[in-house]
Amino acid sequence: MAAMAEFVEEHLRSRRGRPLRILDVGSMDVNGSYRALFDDPAWAYTGLDLAEGPGVDVVVDQPYRWQDLAAESFDVVVSGQAFEHFEYPWVSILEVARVLRPAGLVCVIVPSGGYEHRYPLDCWRYYPDGIAALARWADLDVVSAETSWEPKGDYSDDSAEWKDTVLVARKPAASPSLATRAKTGLLRRVNAFQAGRRAGVATRQ
């Protein structure tokens, strides 16, 4: 929770009182919710997840195609402790880029350590180079990518074990060329098709 609060304070404080649309990917309130951090009356928070539950406004069938969300419809996309559970995160990050408006911000928080916690899968751990590569795959500009190798403060629970990696990235303000948009669209559709075709196979084996 602290890392996302730092993102809000550092990158969104100057935009308080101004309209912002914020999407939280993996928003179900299992061990806490980010919703309260985006409580400015001018901001509109939308929680997205794979099932109905507390903190969820939009339910999608899989993390690879968000058909109910229009392109370039959010100013900020955040996600905490979700991307390690996605089998094919390089497909999900393409959807992040698709729904993000030009010059929009992304904050993704993921573990670099910790024990296995399947929900229903536990696939990845991320270092700064890895999470930065994921952003670049989606043509996002990396603002920062850092891992908390040492805990900041005292924790009475197991939070310090995860050694979270935090990505902040920005979508370029300039519109891509028609050729680039066509290539990106094709890449997104092909990857989403393959990911959707194979999604969940591991849980059924």
Per-residue pLDDT tens over the stretch 83-127: 999 999 999 999 999 999 999 999 999 999 999 998 889 999 999
For 66-75, give one letter per residue: b (16+ CB within 10 A) or e.
Answer: beebeeeebb
> Mean pLDDT throughout 32-59?
96
pLDDT of residue 201: 53
pLDDT of residue 140: 97
pLDDT of residue 159: 66
Which tops the pLDDT comparison, 10 or 197?
10
In 3D space, the residue among 23, 144, 40 whose CA is nearest the CA of residue 92 turns out to be 23
> Mean pLDDT throughout 13-42?
95
Rounded to two decimals, what is the model's pTM?
0.90
Report the C-alpha gap between 118 and 140 in whole angstroms: 28
pLDDT of residue 120: 85
Count of domains observed in the chain: 1
Mean pLDDT, the chain, as a whole number? 91
pLDDT of residue 202: 47
Query: Is the sign of the CA dihedral 46, 111, 29, 63 positive or negative?
Result: positive
pLDDT of residue 22: 98
Task: Indicate which CATH number applies to the domain containing 144.
Answer: 3.40.50.150
Domain range enclosing 149: 2-204
Per-residue pLDDT tens over the stretch 92-101: 999 999 999 9
What is the secondary structure of 136-196 as a DSSP string? HHTTPEEEEEEE--S-SS--SSSGGGG--EEEEEE--SSPPPHHHHHHHHHHHHHHHHHHH
69's tokens: 């969300």
Per-residue pLDDT tens over the stretch 135-168: 999 999 999 999 999 876 655 556 678 999 999 9
